[in-house]
Amino acid sequence: MASAAEQLASNLNFSAFSKAEELKKRIWFTLGALLVYRLGTYIPLPGINLGAYAQAFNHQAQGILGMFNMFAGGAVARMAIFALGIMPYISASIIVQLMTSVIPALEQLKKDGEQGRKVINQYTRYGTVLLATVQAYAIAVGLQGSQGIVTNPGPFFLFSTVITLVGGTMFLMWLGEQITARGIGNGISLIIFSGIVANLPQAISGTLELGRTGALSTPIILAIIVLTIAVIGIIVFVERAQRRLLIQYPKRQVGNRMFQGDTSHLPLKLNTAGVIPPIFASSLLLLPATIAGFANNQNLPGWATTILSSLGHGQPLYMASYAAMIVFFAFFYTALVFNPKDTADQLKKHSGFIPGIRPGERTAEYIDYVLTRITVLGAAYLVLICMLPEFLISWAGVPFYLGGTSLLIVVSVTLDTVAQIQGHLIAHQYEGLIKKSKLRGGKRNR
């Protein structure tokens, strides 16, 4: 077995890809599904005056609509059938995760294995329909309330808009599940990834155009490129970083034979919360500005106008609030998705222990202590990655189009997808080695 593993590692190269037919089918299926998604972002809703809508959207492009437009791959700017994107599904998933920590019945379902996960997934789908319906109705009412955007306002427009937008979200949810099952990578993450990457050529051409007109000097453009590469390198390093806790299992006796105790590791990611903290922080900070924009700042008291101006991009209050919310959600979501007590109970159930730490409550306290320390580093990393573009945009005037949240998503999804491709290649080559060894064994027996 050891020699087979060594041969497998030495033979793993690009030539193995040409022989992995199953992997190629999965990749082609994924590309085809993402192409369908991109085509859907260009199909507008019926009954919309696109010219009037484009003018209205440009006034709100810096608010929460701009962030949703980034995640939806430009569908919000075109008010396409996929304008809601996959965000209602992500929001429903987070809400269900929160409820599993509060409601004992859902927590028990989470522990019931595959059947319990199916029930929780079904609840998530129901929540997606509910959230998408509420958001679609709000969008329809907002469009109808804006003068000149809707050609034939009325109940039929409201009904058709809600049905179309909810149907688009549910189709994307189904498409993401199909990519996960029949393609390569996580389907939901790849849909968001493709939407962000689709705007990258426009961002690059815009930067080059600023350089051609003299608005940006060549050294600044080169500095942007170097800084982007450096940020990507930091993200790759931290996202792969782990704190491994040594786990030991005692010796066991089977019959008259004594087996040596095994050792393993409990990996704790440095950034357990992922991209959730920046997404939540951005949404909450951009929400007041968006509401005020829809109200056209009319009839707002003086204190509200002062707060809104202080929460604008580049303002000190915005920077401080953004950083504080990222730190809060980093700790909050980490505590939500990782329960040290459950982990300690599982270790105790399987007779595993951390050397020098008593099983049970002491182990849970130690895991929580280590997790808190590494979460401090993870939160600082998230603040650094997300605040750097804000500093460049506000003080230096540099158009850093790929913000911290989008860079995190792009790099994380790329790492996960590449890891899955490598896993398929290793499995394919391993199966080939086993078949060769069987054939050789059969010839020898003959």
Taking only the tens place, the pLDDT of each residue in 138-187 is: 888 888 877 778 888 888 989 999 999 999 999 999 999 999 889 888 88
Name, in order, each residue with C-beta under 8 angstroms of 341's C-beta and a sequence gap of 6 or more.
364
pLDDT at residue 315 is higher than 80 = no
Could you tell me the two tokens for 390? 């804000």
b/e per residue, 195-229, with b = 16+ CB within 10 A?
Answer: bbbbbeeeeeeebeebbeeeebeeebeeebeeeee
Could you tell me the two tokens for 323? 């950083």
Q: Other CB atoms closer than 10 Å to residue 365's CB: what's the count?
A: 15
pLDDT at 204: 76
pLDDT at 35: 93
Which range in 71-75, 98-102, 154-158 is most confidently predicted, on average pLDDT?
A: 154-158
Element (H, E) at 257: strand 257-259
pLDDT at 374: 93
Least confident interval from 5-14, 183-192, 398-407, 412-421: 5-14
pLDDT at 361: 87
Judge whether 3 and 424 are in contact, CB under 8 Å: no
Q: How far apart are CA 152 and CA 76, in angstroms?
A: 20
Judge whether 132 and 166 are in contact, CB under 8 Å: yes
For residues 353 and 133, the model is more confident at: 133
> What DSSP letter does each residue of 193-210 carry, written as one string?
HHHHHHTHHHHHHHHHHH
Q: Other CB atoms closer than 10 Å to residue 292's CB: what's the count?
A: 19
SS3 252: strand
pLDDT at residue 60 is higher than 60 = yes
Mean pLDDT of the chain: 79
pLDDT at 4: 41
**Average pLDDT of span 406-414:** 85
**Average pLDDT of span 225-248:** 87
SS3 396: helix
Torsion of CA 224, 226, 232, 237, to 10 degrees: -150
pLDDT at residue 383 is higher than 70 = yes
Element (H, E) at 119: helix 114-145
pLDDT band at 395 (very low <50, low <70, confident <90, very high): low
pLDDT at 39: 92
pLDDT at residue 407 is higher than 50 = yes
pLDDT at 133: 92
Provide the residue ranges of all domains of the chain, joining segments of one domain with +. Answer: 21-199
pLDDT at 402: 58
Q: Which residue has the tokens 């930067």?
A: 207
Least confident interval from 50-54, 192-196, 235-239, 261-265: 261-265
| Partners of 433 in the β-ladder | none
Q: What confidence tens digit (pLDDT) does each residue in 241-279 have?
A: 888 888 888 776 666 666 566 788 888 888 888 888 887
pLDDT at 86: 86
pLDDT at residue 37 is higher than 90 = yes
pLDDT at 84: 87
H runs (alpha helix) in 350-403 = 361-391
Could you tell me the two tokens for 88? 């209602």
- Name the residue among 289, 275, 359 with its Cα closest to residue 321: 289
Q: Which CATH code for domain 21-199? A: 1.10.3370.10
pLDDT at 8: 41
Judge whether 400 and 224 are in contact, CB under 8 Å: yes
| Partners of 44 in the β-ladder | 80
pLDDT at 9: 43
SS3 content of the chain, % helix, strand, coil (to 5): 70, 5, 20
